[in-house]
Amino acid sequence: MSLKYLIKNVWLPTTKRLGRQDILVQNGIITRIAPKINDAKATNIITGAGNYLLPGFLDVHVHFRDPGQTAKESIETGSRAAAHGGYTMVCAMPNVTPVPNTPRALAQLIQKNRAAGVVPVKQIAPVTTNERGNTLIDFKGMQQAGAVAFSNDGIGIQSAGTMYAAMQQIQATGLPLAAHVEEQSLMHGGVINAGTAANRLNLPGIDAVVETSQLARDLELARSTGVHYHVCHVSTARSVELIRRAKAEGINVTAEVTPHHLLLNDTMITADNPMYKMNPPLRTAADQQALLGGLLDGTIDMIATDHAPHTRADKGNSFLGSAFGITGLETAFPLLYTKLVTTKTVTLSQLINWMSTRPAELFQLPVPELAVGKKLNGALWDLTSAQTLKPATQLSKGTNSPFWGTVVSATQIQTFVNGHLVTL
């Protein structure tokens, strides 16, 4: 039986000058876009009410904690949160318990992702066994099992020799190596950016050189190997400059930035509140401005949330002893739209490019397009009504965020994945 959706009276991000549009979807495929469509055979008529239908977002950096840590999140709850945030595909990091160290284990996890995911959950494979030490995994086997990238996210690869060997082998697969750059010998137990907030709160700081020293090393190794080297959660102005120079010199490097590093800085940490604890930490206001500048000039390619849910017990009451990380899938677009688009700092088209088009292109995944002949992957958004972000309205198990209480002007109404309306 043919399933038809007729979505009435919506703005599309590419057709505002043409007025509101109707969209006809049959068996998951967009078959017609026009100012007025009447189809008596439409199974479901959805009233857009003048809201925006935006392409689905793609997050290349999420932590779903499944298996092994499902008190924090599961594939089902994490992917449901993704759909609630307008994401129609995500890429999950491999730091679960146990780590999928073999092609067979990875294939089993991918099957679980398919069975439990409300949106497609693509899987990233580790670089080394258990994301520790120097024993490389079977990269070709992992690619054949379905890996979309390789990463030891959560901990930097400390040995240059190990990283170089990994780059050589990953380059042969054509997949990205997503690097968490962190020189552990320089961490010294830090929990917050080394600076005024750390000094005021008497907390051990994390210097910018923790990130930049390993990044500089890796860029030289990437120059030699030609691997697609992707820098996770860039946080410092110096990192932006290193990446900018590397791109100018032809190194195959891409980079992401998180919403929290774009919107917050360490001057906003006024108390010992672990909701502001993430890794890398919130940096200075100058770093924050450099990150936005890097996005605008193309040095940084995309926005990724680093969605990292934790239990309340793991987050605790202080930076000391608290787990690093915050949630982000459900708050990313509302925050970025409100703080950057409505203030005319960036355009809606730019934000869609950073959250949808570029991550898909660079990770060799399908680009969500609202066009005839394409599967409908997108979300209906109210971009005029205000809402206050609060844990009670979120679908993730994690409630660890510094953004609760923030008023935003973007509310998700419905999400479509591969042409089907997601029930949340």
- Annotated ligand binding at 317? The verdict is no
pLDDT mean across residues, the chain: 97
What is the phi-psi region of residue 267: left when phi exceeds 0, alpha when psi lies from -120 to 50, beta otherwise? alpha
d(CA 59, CA 312): 24
pLDDT over 90, % of the chain: 95
| Shared fold status for 4-53+375-422 and 55-363 | no
Q: Is 65 annotated as a binding residue?
A: yes
Q: What is the pLDDT of residues 300-349, one digit of tens each?
A: 999 999 999 999 999 999 999 999 999 999 999 999 999 999 999 999 99
Q: Is 200 among the annotated ligand-binding positions?
A: no
Helix (H) or strand (E) holding 257: strand 253-257
Q: Where are the domains of the chain?
A: 4-53+375-422, 55-363
Residue 14 has a pLDDT of 77
Asked if the model's pLDDT at residue 1 lies above 50, the reply is: no
Query: Cα–Cα distance between 223 and 252 in angstroms, integer?
Result: 7
Which segment of 2-6, 68-72, 176-180, 405-409 scores lowest on mean pLDDT? 2-6
User: Of the listed 66, 218, 301, 306, which one is catalytic?
Assistant: 306
**Per-residue pLDDT averaged across 366-378, rounded?**
97
Q: What is the pLDDT of residue 15?
A: 66
pLDDT tens per residue across span 17-27: 567 999 999 99
Q: Does the pLDDT at position 221 exceed 90?
A: yes
Could you tell me the two tokens for 294? Answer: 């890097």
382 known member of a binding site: no
Q: What is the pLDDT of residues 36-78, one digit of tens each?
A: 999 878 889 999 999 999 999 999 999 999 999 999 999 999 9
Residue 401 has pLDDT above 80, yes or no: yes
Q: Is the pLDDT of residue 398 over 50?
A: yes
Compare 96 and 40 and report the one with higher pLDDT.
96
Candidates 97, 41, 232, 77; CA nearest to 151 is 232
3-state SS string over 354-412? HHHHHHHHHCCCCCCCCCCCCECCEEEEECCCCEECCHHHCCCCCCCCCCCCCEECCEE
Query: Position of tokens 């990269």?
Result: 139
Q: Is 218 a catalytic residue?
A: no
Q: Is 377 annotated as a binding residue?
A: no
One-letter identity of residue 80: R
CATH number for the domain formed by residue range(s) 4-53+375-422:
2.30.40.10
Beta pairing partners, 4: 26
pTM: predicted TM-score of the whole model, two decimal places: 0.98
363 annotated among ligand-binding-site residues: no
Written as one letter, the residue type at 308 is: A
Write down the CATH superfamily of domain 55-363. Answer: Metal-dependent hydrolases (3.20.20.140)
pLDDT at 46: 94
Which pLDDT score is estimated for 18? 66
- Residue 417: C-alpha distances to residues 76, 231, 293 (Å): 15, 28, 32
Strands of 27-133, DSSP E: 29-34, 44-47, 52-55, 57-62, 87-92, 121-123
The response to whether 324 counts as a known ligand-binding position is yes
* 332, 306 Cβ separation under 8 angstroms: no
